[in-house]
Structures are given as C-alpha cells and as structure tokens.
Amino acid sequence: MSQLRGEAAILVGPGRLEVEEVPVRELADGEVLVRNTVGAICGSDVHRVRAESPFFRDMNDHPFPCPPGYPGHEGLGEVLESRSPKFRPGEIVLTVPNHAYMASFAKYQTISDQFLLHVPSDGSPMHYLMAQQLGTVVYALKKFWPEPTPGRSAAVVGVGSAGMLFVQMLKHRGFERVVAVDLDPGRLALARKLGADETVLVPDQSVSVLDPASGSPVENFDVELAIEAAGTDSARDYAMAMVGLRGRLGFFGMPEAHGMQVPYASLFGKQITLATAVGAQLEPNLASFRESLELIVADEIAVKDHITHTFDLKRIDEAFELAHSRADGVVKVGITYD
C-alpha cells in the first residue's frame, strides 16, 4: 500500500483548492487506511478554506499548501488496510477525525482507529454520513440542556444542515415548541417539514426578531433554550434576544472574530446560562456519534433532505462556492470520489 496514490484536494491559499494526485503514507500502529466513498462540506470547512473572518485568518492550522484532504472531517468509506485490531479490510466506516486527521477531501484517508465507527454495509452511504454532523449536535445538546426532562420551548437560529438537526433533536427530546429562525424561506419551509412549530423569516442582519406575517418586532419569545447554529455573530445576537428568564444559551457555530458585543446587563438580569460545544471527537467511546448513528439507522431522525447537492472531488472548488453562496436551495453539499 505504500506506493498507492490517489486524488486529494489541497488548500494552496485562502479560497484556493487544487486537486492533485498524491502518495498515501505508511500506516502507523493503530491507524487505518480508508478509501472514501462519500464526504460532505461542513460550514466550518467553508470558513477555514475562505479564511475571511479574523478568527479563521489567525488560526494558522497549517502553512500553505495544507496537507492533502484538509480540512475535510465528514467522511465514509471502506477499510483497505488496517494496523488496528478493531477494524478489518472490507468493513465500512464513518470517519470522525480530530484536528490532526482532518483529511476527508481525498480519495484515501489515513486515520487513527479512535476516530472510526462501523456502519452497516447496506443502506444509503449519504444517510449514514450524516451521523458525523448529527453526532456533534447530540453532543452539543448534552451541554446546552443537561437536564433529564425536556423544556417547553426552544429556538434554533440558523437552520442550515446543523440547525435542521437541532430542530429534530429538540422535538425528539420532547420540547413542546421549537422556533426556527433563518434568512432563507426555503430552509424555513424544510424546518417546518422536519418538526419546527414556528418559523421566523429574518429579512436582514439586524438584531430585531421579526414576525413573519406582520414584519413587526416580536418581544415575547422568551424561550427556555436558544441555540445559535449559523456561525455568525448576528445569529448569536438573535439567540441572545430570544432567550427568556433563567434560560439557556447554546453557541454552536465557530467564532467569526476573537470577540463580540454581548448584552451582559440583559443576560445578567435574566440569569442566563451560556454554553459552547466543541470536541465531540474526544468524547469517550465516541458516545454521541454512536447515538447519532443509531438514530439514523432506526430512522428516528430524518436526514434524506439534508444533502441537496453532490459534486465529484474534481469539482470541489464549485462545491465550496455553492456551500458559501447558499444558492439554488442548497442545504448541505456532498462529495463523491469516483
């Protein structure tokens, strides 16, 4: 296998991805070689690749050109070679890499066995792939709402793919009223289909939450849990405006900059609890990813409407442009490796 070569996307500069054929490195003990079948673009991938915000410009994960396949971290494929007793050639696996193994935008991926899960050999690979993102949502809800009993009301600000999963998981956990907030009416319609009880169409990036029928500011949401799932400070502003007395705030998306304006007096007066969530890959036994895979296999969480557009790896630059522009009704972009 040491002479194996395969195509990989390489980030050669901000916003510049090139596909090249690269050699596959030797496996170390505990590592597995996976031939990727399908992958997907996460919102954080778009931020990392474009590096337009101060937080991502300053992150400096890797010098350019970045390692092949970076920053892909949502993948599913077949084990070709293994130096791990946990996985054998021919098995199908979900890859949920940590930062050191982000390489899903490549035909072949070398990864530690601690970031792999067995998946069924039948069924839709694209559906099982969604267990990666759903796993991060399951993990986040453990932090955002640690109480064993569900709340009555929640809001999800930003209903891209992750936001749609939050809507479903909140209803799955028993929340009575879930409000979806977004700039795109098409996404709000899908959120309704997936369980949202109310939707709020935001016509601009102001901090006023508007009623979709009258266009007037709404002051009485006062939800018990408000989740930001868009990765923008404006979405976090909406979430902070919607949370009620002794409520909880969950910031899921990655930062835009190193700081932001917070209405501390309001949060202080309402006795708000704020939590963030990152690092599901480091949870013991990949517990949240395992739970998410079980939910998808059991068809308890719907994922078939999430990946709306698919591109071959050779066209990954087009795939990222669509994921960034959010045109053509896109929710999430998939990648194939033919």
97-122 pLDDT, tens digit per residue, is: 999 999 999 999 999 999 999 999 99
Question: Half-sphere exposure (CA, 13 Å, Cβ side) for 73?
Answer: 23
pLDDT band at 219 (very low <50, low <70, confident <90, very high): low
Residue 206: the pLDDT is 41
pLDDT band at 52 (very low <50, low <70, confident <90, very high): confident
Using a 10 angstrom Cβ sphere, with 0-12 exposed, 13-18 middle and 19 or more buried, the burial of residue 58 is: exposed
Q: Are strands 332-336 and 31-40 parallel, antiparallel or unpaired?
A: antiparallel
Residue 191: the pLDDT is 96
pTM greater than 0.85 (yes/no):
yes
Whether pLDDT at 31 is above 50: yes
Q: Count CB neighbours of 73 within 10 A.
A: 27
Whether pLDDT at 124 is above 90: yes
Residue 213: the pLDDT is 54
Residue 95: the pLDDT is 98
Question: Which whole number is the average pLDDT over 306-318?
Answer: 97
Whether pLDDT at 1 is above 50: no
Tokens of 129: 């792939």
- CATH code given to domain 133-280: 3.40.50.720
What is the 8-class DSSP label of residue 191? H
What is the 8-class DSSP label of residue 209? -
Break the chain into its structural domains and give their ranges: 5-130+306-336, 133-280
Residue 59: the pLDDT is 75
Residue 338: the pLDDT is 80
**Amino acid type, 193:** K
Residue 236: the pLDDT is 94
Question: Which whole number is the average pLDDT over 327-338?
Answer: 94
Question: Which whole number is the average pLDDT over 239-262?
Answer: 93
Query: Are 311 and 323 contacting, i.e. CB atoms less than 8 angstroms apart?
Result: no
- CATH code given to domain 5-130+306-336: 3.90.180.10
Question: Half-sphere exposure (CA, 13 Å, Cβ side) for 334?
Answer: 23
Q: Count CB neighbours of 326 within 10 A.
A: 15
DSSP string, 120-164: -SSS-HHHHHTHHHHHHHHHHHHHH--SSS--SEEEEE--SHHHH
Tens-digit pLDDT profile for residues 177-217: 999 999 999 999 999 999 999 998 886 534 345 454 555 55
Q: d(Cα 101, Cα 106) in Å, to the nearest integer?
A: 12
Nearest to 292 by CA among 138, 113, 73: 138
Q: Distance between terminal CA atoms of the chain?
A: 19
